[in-house]
């Protein structure tokens, strides 16, 4: 499964970083970095919950 960020929407508030710092990070320019290209299927539920927690709905899990 893949997780993508809509950079037009992302406000770099770090909610997703706090929930899964091994997957998400913010760089020096406060741009969201997704550390893993493909997330193992076992984490789909967790990452879907994180995507739903993004206050501006910038994350898509597919
Ligand atoms: S929770 Fe949403 S707005 Fe916040 S850093 Fe993550 S993708 Fe961006």
pLDDT at site 41? 86
pLDDT at site 40? 86
**Residue range 5-36, pLDDT digits in tens:** 999 999 999 999 999 999 999 999 999 999 88
Distance CA 18, CA 37 (A): 19
pLDDT at site 38? 79
Q: Whose CA is nearest to atom 6 of ligand 1?
A: 16
- What string of DSSP letters covers 4-57? EE-TTT-----HHHHH-TTTEEE-TTS-EEE--SS--GGGHHHHHHHHHH-TT-
Q: What is the pTM of this model?
A: 0.92
CA of 18 to the centre of ligand 1 (A): 10
pLDDT at site 45? 93
Which of 5, 10, 25, 27 most suits a substitution to test ligand 1, by most atoms within 8 Å of the C-beta?
Answer: 10
pLDDT at site 1? 84
Distance CA 15, CA 50 (A): 8
């Amino acid at each position: 499964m893949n997780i993508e960020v809509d950079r037009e929407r992302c406000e770099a508030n770090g909610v997703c970083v706090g929930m899964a710092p091994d997957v998400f990070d913010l760089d020096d320019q406060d741009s969201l970095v997704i550390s893993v290209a493909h997330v193992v299927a076992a984490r789909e539920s967790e990452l879907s919950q994180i995507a739903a927690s993004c206050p501006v709905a910038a994350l898509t899990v597919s």
